[in-house]
Amino acid sequence: MLTDDTRQELIEVARNAQQWAYAPYSNYAVGAALLSNSGRIYEGANVENAVYPVTMCAERVAVFKAVSEGEREFSAIAVVTRDGGSPCGSCRQVLAEFGLDTIVVIADEEGQVCQETTVAGLLPHSFGPSNLKETP
């Protein structure tokens, strides 16, 4: 369960992270704030590239920062865009790798919550680690 205070803190951290976005092509700045089960918050901002497929979304930046520092379990992520846009498929898949129960708060740049769900809600019937386990 996400408290109102924690939700608001995550949204504010994500709003702040938006300022660091490098989005010269789309002009669509995204900020993310990922809460680990250890209580630490990891920020992310999207980083675009002229070669579009190598662009990195804010959500994945936050996850990769956290994982690179030893985190593996997350309780929530807030994503802020100008219009409350939802995470892309790649971000959903990366988030699913670390927990389908992770709460996802999607807000606009004013901080208004547009949607709150879980990773499972964003990516039903996901493919994950359990699909790769060998059967005896």
Domain ranges within the chain, ordered by starting residue: 4-132
pLDDT in tens, 79-120: 999 999 999 999 999 999 999 999 999 999 999 999 999 999
Number of Cα atoms under 13 Å in the Cβ half of residue 11: 21
Whole-angstrom CA distances from 86 to 37, 70, 71 are: 23, 27, 24
Amino acid at position 48, single letter: E
Whole-angstrom CA distances from 103 to 20, 96, 106, 118 are: 24, 11, 10, 4
Closest CA to 96 of 73, 132, 120, 66: 120
118 and 128 Cβ atoms separated by less than 8 Å: no
According to CATH, the superfamily of the domain at 4-132 is Cytidine Deaminase, domain 2 (3.40.140.10)
Mean predicted lDDT score pLDDT of the chain: 96
Q: What's the mean pLDDT in 35-63?
A: 97
pLDDT band for 130, please (50, 70, 90 cuts).
Answer: confident
| Rounded Cα distance, 101 and 123, in Å | 11
Q: Which residues are part of the catalytic machinery?
A: 59
